[in-house]
Structure 1
């Protein structure tokens, strides 16, 4: 038996256990065989990757160290006695191997894989193998099976209401932070809109990342329910309430691999909506030359896949294909995007008008779900709620209810301006390039990092005039972003 020692080492998303190489009754060869171990006290157990320690100051003889994730998931106190044994590979890995070979999996096989991923029985390498195999080909039935399985393995919220609305964008457009405007508009109208969001996957910020600049998003289910009961809405991180936990594990591997296929996108988004208890969803698919969806044919294919899966899981869906030809708003990154959102809600004269209009359009589509509104009146109602200040008041109540952010996040103090190399009109802005530059600057992990866009498509600029400003919270991050911008600024001049 070994005693648990908690080690302040973040090994997310993987469970990692640490043991002294010597003096624990195992030879080096046995340690090699025990690469993956089962740690158990007879009641609680986890599977963990084993790392060997040669520093006796870190662990004593007879101790097993658990990284933060493993310690939290095992849920036993420090000093508790546990036994270890070699962990057998999950049987579902055989299904992954078949998927790699090009087989189409049955529903129960897909469910077994997702259950094991949610239970942290897979290493990141094994998850990566599954994701890459699925990226090669997934049938429509497999996509539906993944969606259902991911929703089933976690918590399922039930708001006991016939109409629970939501709005989601598939992403890919920097600055497109419309949810933080749509939610308070819809809440001010009186519809139930418990908005749960993921952290950013490949973008410089997600709704949860940006909302966290203003308020806590790390809310328990009990807190969420209390806020929705009072305010009709919430803007929270879905991972805290264990909605589709397999998706969060998959996202942690998708992010560095930059995998975001249509099939995985549909399963990820709709499993979260199903688990969150939504009944009606407005889905925004931006279409543009540097967006996630770049052709009309792809937009139609993705729309049909969303509609098919949504219909099978009982979700009413309204899909809109919108202009994704350039970033929306001016800020790219959590602090800058929060600035733009609040400017729109305050009806500031200099608020980004494209962000305002896009949010109003989407809010109108959501409000059109309300049977009490005459058909097509949603936009006018959304405009009234925003212009009157009722949406701003709803947002302020949400911020207070969720817990106003005590830390005032500042813009990154390291700044670099990217200048126009010629005079002319801005003809195009590469959304993908701008997002990459902002991420290299440190967004979204560094809240104050990102890009402040000073000119949009159609603007006349002089040679040497700043096109945008990069903010970073470290010199290293600024250097990475500056170098990428120097290769290609992401701006194309029309002459």
Structure 2
């Protein structure tokens, strides 16, 4: 029996336990055999990777230290007594080996893999093996089975309405923060839109990161339900809801490996929307030379996969292709993107026209789901709600209901202008490069970091003129971004 001790060590996404190398009669060799252990106590159980400690100032020989993730998932108080045993490999790993060999897995086999992943029984290496095997080949029925399995292992939200709308962009385009404009437009019309959004993993920011500049986004399921009941909509971080939790684990391994297959993307998006209780969904697929989808043929293939899975999950979808040739709006980064969103909602004269138009188009498609609205009136109705100020009022109510941020984050105090090396016209902007420069500056963790785009494609520039301005709150972050932008600004001038 060992006493639980909470250690303030973030080992996300893994469960990690810490024990002295020489304690409780075990030798180092025996600890090596217990590389993965099962920890049980008071009817609760987790599997954890074992890390050996050689300093008894960190932990004593009668204790087992648990990192933040393991402590939270075990759910026992500090000081509780637990037992350890060698963890047996999950039986579902045999299905992963079969997938590596090129086999097609059935529903029960995929379900077993996903249950074990959601229960954190897989190591990152084992998850990576599953993802790489699926990236090699995954059939359409397997994609559907993966989606169903991911929905089954998490929480489910339900709403007292036959029509619950949502939208999702597959990502890859900096500044594409349309959700924060679309949701208040739809709410002002009277439709229910419980929008759960992600935080950034490899991008400069996600919708949740931008909304957090304005309001609290870490809401419980009850808080979310109460706000939707009053305001008809919410803009919350989905990670707190435990919706399709296996997807969060898969993404944590998938993104560092730069794996982003269509099959995994579809399963991820549809499983989250079904778990959130959505019945009608608009999906935005940007197509462009540096976007996630780079050809019309690829876009059509992805659209058909979305339609197949959504139909079998009982969800109605509208899928649109949009211009993914350059960033949208002026800002890239939480504070800058929140500025752009509010400028559009306030109908300011200098609000980014491309962000405004794209948001109106998406909102129009969502409003077309309303059976009471005459067909073809969606865009006009969205424009009316935005121009009249009703959308802004809805957004202000949502912010107040979620809890307005008492501290308004400001732009980074360190800044640098990236200048054009020649005179001419901007012919292209590399979305991926711009996103990585903003990340180097510190976004999204540094809310004030990012890029303010001063020119877009088609704009005439002179040699020495600023193309964009980098913001950061640390000299080091600015230095990283400057160096990266110096290698390649992401702009082509011709």
Query: Residue 170 of structure 1 aligns with which residue?
Result: 170
TM-score normalized by the length of structure 1: 0.98
Name the residue aligned to 1:439. 439
Please name the residue that 2:244 is paired with.
Answer: 244
Q: Provide the rounded CA distance (Å) in 1 between the counterparts of 2:417 and 2:24.
A: 57
**Separation of aligned partners in 2, 1:291 and 1:199:** 19
Aligned equivalent of 1:380: 380
Instruction: Tell me, in whole angstroms, the C-alpha distance in 2 between the residues paired with 1:20 and 1:414.
Output: 45
Shift of residue 257, structure 1, vs aligned partner: 1.8
2:394 aligns with 394
Residue 437 of structure 1 aligns to a residue in which SS?
Answer: helix
Q: CA RMSD in A?
A: 1.0
Q: 2:341 maps to which residue? A: 341
Aligned partners of 1:138 and 1:263 also within 8 Å? yes
For structure 2, the residue ranges without an aligned partner over 5 or more in a row are: none
**Comparing 124-133 and 415-424, the one that deviates more:** 124-133
Aligned residues: 494
Give the corresponding residue for 2:330.
Answer: 330
Q: How far is the alpha carbon of 1:42 from its aligned partner? A: 4.7
For 1:90-169, what aligned pairs fall within 5 Å after superposition?
A: 90-169=90-169
**Which stretch of structure 1 is more off in the superposition, 246-255 or 471-480?**
471-480
Quote the residue 2:371 is aligned against.
371
CA–CA distance in structure 2, aligned partners of residues 373 and 98 of structure 1: 51
For 2:222, the equivalent position in structure 1 comes to: 222
CA distance 1:46–1:257, shift in 2 (3 Å) = same
Query: Which position in structure 2 is the counterpart of 1:407?
Result: 407
SS at match of 1:22: coil
Provide Cα deviations, 1:202-242, integer angstroms capped at 9, x if missing partner: 32111111111111111000000000000000001111111
User: Match of 1:290, SS?
Assistant: coil
**Distance in 1 (alpha carbons) for counterparts of 2:371 and 2:391:** 21
* Distance in 2 between residues matched to 1:8 and 1:170, nearest whole Å: 35
In the alignment, the residues of structure 1 paired with residue 91 and residue 318 of structure 2 have an alpha-carbon distance, to the nearest angstrom, of 39
**SS at 1:257's partner residue?**
coil
C-alpha displacement of 1:461: 0.7
Shift of 1:264: 0.7
1:45-124 correspondence to structure 2 within 5 Å: 45-124=45-124
**Separation in structure 2 between the aligned mates of residue 415 and residue 100 of structure 1, nearest angstrom:** 48
CA distance in 2, matches of 1:362, 1:419: 34
The answer on 1:212 being equivalent to 2:189 is: no
Match of 1:16 in 2: 16
* SS in structure 2 of the partner of residue 191 of structure 1: coil
- 1:258-297 to 2 correspondence within 5 Å? 258-297=258-297
Residue 104 of structure 1 aligns to a residue whose secondary structure is: coil
Measured in 2, the distance between the counterparts of 1:128 and 1:449 equals 31
8 Å contact 1:107–1:145 — kept in the other structure? yes
Structure 1 unmatched runs, 5+: none
2:475 aligned with 1:475: yes
1:473 shift after superposition = 2.5
Deviates more, 1:78-87 or 1:94-103: 94-103
Q: Does 1:254 align with 2:281?
A: no
User: CA 1:407 to 1:89, structure 2 compared with 1: closer, same or farther past 3 Å?
Assistant: farther
- The alpha-carbon deviation at position 480 of structure 1 amounts to 2.1
Deviation track 1:266-313 (CA, whole Å, cap 9, x = no partner) reads 000000011011000011101111111110100100000000111111
